[in-house]
Structure 1
Amino acid sequence: MAASRESSTIYEAADGSELPMLVFEPAEGTQPVAGIVMFHGGALRKGSADGLAPHCRQLASRGIFAVSAGYRLIGQRAVSIDDCIADVRLAVEYFSRLAASRGLDSSRLASGGTSAGGHLALVAAMIAPDGPFPASKPGVTAVVALNPVVDLLAYSPEQQHVLEQGAGIAAGRAIEYSPIEFVRPGNPPMLIQHGTRDEVVPIDQVRRFRDVMVQAGNDCILIEYERAEHGFHYPGPAGHFDDVVDATAEFLLHRLVSRREAGAVVPAREWPFDGTAGSTVVTTR
């Protein structure tokens, strides 16, 4: 597998402070064919850009310009989820400029993340910054989310209250941050990878989101990892890291790059989906 190049930079947060952006590129002399910016998890209160560095490193070795970006955390420099979302939007804009300098236009770019970071990526891509309306220009062409929260109203009233308090959302306004409420025709194509034993975001929540996306005429692929729990995709004993990276790379290359142009950078394994918008693949270990 080809090596990758690594560097780091900073971008300006919505409050003017500096935030880290870890940059992973294909080996010297290799032109990237697609790009993705990813956001870490941690319930908006912990975590760092280092969390998804292994994923980005492997994606870069497959010909993808991959970036892992930080954002302000609640209890530190962020007051509420609104600050986190504002930073994610700015990170996507800065990433787009970096990608353009590598010869990639917006049609080749995706955003994504894990858990809270996946939720932030979905919100930024689906909801306009000036209010609870569908975003017309999300800045990316596709979204890849790993065990994301997609329906804040799927939890009990007590759990919703805890979520609102933890995220700095005013009481009763969780609906304004719930991706499933903003599904409309024309949402970006999405790949969601999720464990069937996720104790934080039950798989049924994600299946409903997939179904609503498909009913609206959107492209939404769900990969279910049998018996996998929340955070199943990291390197380690869970054993799904390679499968998650492979599926992410294949999705990006399949959706954003023509088969001919992708050429040798497409992994040897065939694209596992049948091409229908609501395909589901169950992966077991």
Structure 2
Amino acid sequence: MTSTGPRESSTFYQAADGSELPLLLFEPGDGAQPRAGIIVFHGGALREGSADGLAAHCRKLASAGIFAVSAGYRLLGRGASSIGDCVADVRRAVEQFGRLAASRGLDAPQLASGGSSAGGHLALVAAMAAPDGPAATPEPGVAAVAAFNPAGLDLGSMDPDARRRLEDRVGLAPGRLTDYSLIELVRPGNLPVLIHHGTRDGIEPIDQVRRFRDAMERAGNACTLYEYEDAEHGFHYPGEDTAHFDAVMDATVRFLLDQLAVD
């Protein structure tokens, strides 16, 4: 990665309910032309977190020549009545990101989405599922997805009581949870996906991530899974030990530039 510091700014996009939500922009320093772009969404179980949560990740990406944007979205109990509202905001944010990227010389084939935990799940749902239902063709506005310990990969594997409790928590009618189970959205032609996940993740067990990866590969899709031995949920954030953070970000840069970079 280069040592040039990124340029930082902020703007807003209009959420599905008309409110304004933040977009934090991180761009390569010295006015350099970005080689690819990504918009990321924070974690927090759809009830907590903010765009600031992935600022460190975006700075790393921008320092490597990538236009990186961290977006907020309405949270449950704070503007969103269901996970569907969160996904609707993510779609709006991706649309605005596409316009911002175009003004910087990047088109959809050079763009990705992604995020951490619940945010990674939202990005994947938006990229894999069409707003009008399974019979429609998704128009994600991006060409790849990079997720850090995403949630919701195989919701159908939960026992019925746990599924119903989760449906209550995320504002869904009975039987609707599997509409947001990523493994149920796997189809031939899904976008390439990168996943970073710890083998001791207690929120989203690694076995579920592996099942999703295997389903993607059986459908003929590219899905790269990096496993981090004994790492728990949220292992990818910077802290006193930055080894995981650096490894995650270096691999993410390689993935984005390999998949998307302008020649």
How would you bin the TM-score normalised by the shorter chain?
over 0.9
Scaled by the length of structure 1, what TM-score is found?
Answer: 0.89
The C-alpha deviation readout for 1:122-154, integer Å capped at 9, x for no partner, is: 000000001234643211000001111211112
**In the alignment, what sits opposite 2:218?**
215
Q: In terms of mean alpha carbon deviation, does 241-250 or 152-161 score higher?
A: 152-161
**In the alignment, what sits opposite 2:14?**
12
* Aligned partner of 2:122 among 120, 130, 142: 120
Q: Distance in 2 between matches of 1:104 and 1:45?
A: 32
Q: In terms of mean alpha carbon deviation, does 199-208 or 125-134 score higher?
A: 125-134
- Secondary structure in 2 aligned to 1:229? coil
* Aligned partner of 1:132 among 110, 131, 134: 134
- Secondary structure in 2 aligned to 1:129? coil
**In the alignment, what sits opposite 1:67?**
69
Q: In terms of mean alpha carbon deviation, does 6-15 or 238-247 score higher?
A: 238-247
Structure 1 residues 113, 248: closer, same or farther in 2, change over 3 A?
same
Q: Distance in 2 between matches of 1:137 and 1:151?
A: 23
Matched, 1:194 2:189: no
Scaled by the length of structure 2, what TM-score is found?
Answer: 0.96
Residue pairs, 1:70-149, within 5 angstroms: 70-133=72-135, 135-149=137-151
- Secondary structure in 2 aligned to 1:28? helix
Q: Distance in 1 between matches of 2:160 and 2:241?
A: 32
Q: Distance in 2 between matches of 1:238 and 1:226?
A: 15
Q: Distance in 1 between matches of 2:50 and 2:141?
A: 23
- State, as a whole percentage, how many aligned pairs show the same letter: 67
Structure 1 residues 19, 161: closer, same or farther in 2, change over 3 A?
same
The C-alpha deviation readout for 1:133-182, integer Å capped at 9, x for no partner, is: 46432110000011112111122223212221111111111111111101
- Secondary structure in 2 aligned to 1:144? strand
Structure 1 residues 251, 20: closer, same or farther in 2, change over 3 A?
same
- Secondary structure in 2 aligned to 1:103? coil
- Secondary structure in 1 aligned to 2:81? coil
State the one-letter code of the partner of 2:225. L
* Aligned partner of 2:26 among 18, 24, 27: 24
**In the alignment, what sits opposite 2:60?**
58
Structure 1 residues 135, 70: closer, same or farther in 2, change over 3 A?
farther
Q: Distance in 2 between matches of 1:222 and 1:118?
A: 14
State the one-letter code of the partner of 1:39. F
Q: Distance in 2 between matches of 1:209 and 1:188?
A: 14
The C-alpha deviation readout for 1:233-271, integer Å capped at 9, x for no partner, is: 00114541111111111100011126xx3xxxxxxxxxx
Aligned residues: 259
State the one-letter code of the partner of 1:200. I
State the one-letter code of the partner of 2:35. V
- Structure 2 unaligned runs (5+)? none
- Secondary structure in 1 aligned to 2:47? coil
RMSD after superposition: 1.1
* Aligned partner of 1:253 among 246, 251, 257: 257
Q: Distance in 2 between matches of 1:237 and 1:3?
A: 21
